[in-house]
Amino acid sequence: MQKDYAEMRGAILRELDGLRYDVDAERRVGWLTLDRPPLNVISYRGRSQIAAILEAFGLDPDVCVAVIRGANGVYSSGGDVKAFPEVERDGMSHMAWNIAAPERCPKPVICAMEKYAMGVAFELAMSCDIRIATADTVLALPEVSLGQIPGSGGSQRVARIVGLTRAVDMMMLGRRIPAPEAHGWGCSPASPTMRMHSSA
């Protein structure tokens, strides 16, 4: 029986789950906004939608740069871990691939982090080319508090960006890192940049 792959692909972007996107053709910017108040939690379905939107931005001639941000002054407190038991068997094997979508995008991807950048949201930010944080942003990989590890590539990316010792500090203790401290850690020469801005 022939499968309708076009229909399957299109179904991914039907009924966006806590996301919205917009293209400013004049400025040539593609905006991907996490929008699930109050803390913009990223759903399981939303992860594949994030990847699909970034792939579309990569092919759109009206987009020269993509920006990921959160709605209402909050980037994201992380993933919807309460819904994990509802995910089908072996359904999480592609989560790291989806969250790595910014790395595969042929155009620069910027992440604007406000208030919280935690769990999968921080993993998504680390896969972007540039990260911008406000002074009151808190960064964390708190999965250890749930008996888990950062499962979407965060354990590898944070070690490459800030070094193994600091990565272990973050992951094993689940410690929340204020943006000024993270900025002070700096980045390795091969890693993307992080910049600080006031929240004004």
> Which residues are the active-site residues?
123, 143
In the 8-state DSSP scheme, what is residue 184?
A: H
- Whether residue 19 contacts residue 41, with contact meaning beta carbons closer than 8 Å, is answered with no
Report d(CA 23, CA 21) in Å as an integer: 7
In the sheet where 177-178 sits, what is the strand order?
116-118, 138-140, 177-178
Buried b (16+ CB within 10 A) or exposed e, 114-134: bbbbbbbbbbbbbbbbbbbbb
Q: Residue type at 124?
A: L
Tell which residue, 114, 138, 123, 142, has the closest CA to residue 50. 123
Report d(CA 58, CA 169) in Å as an integer: 35
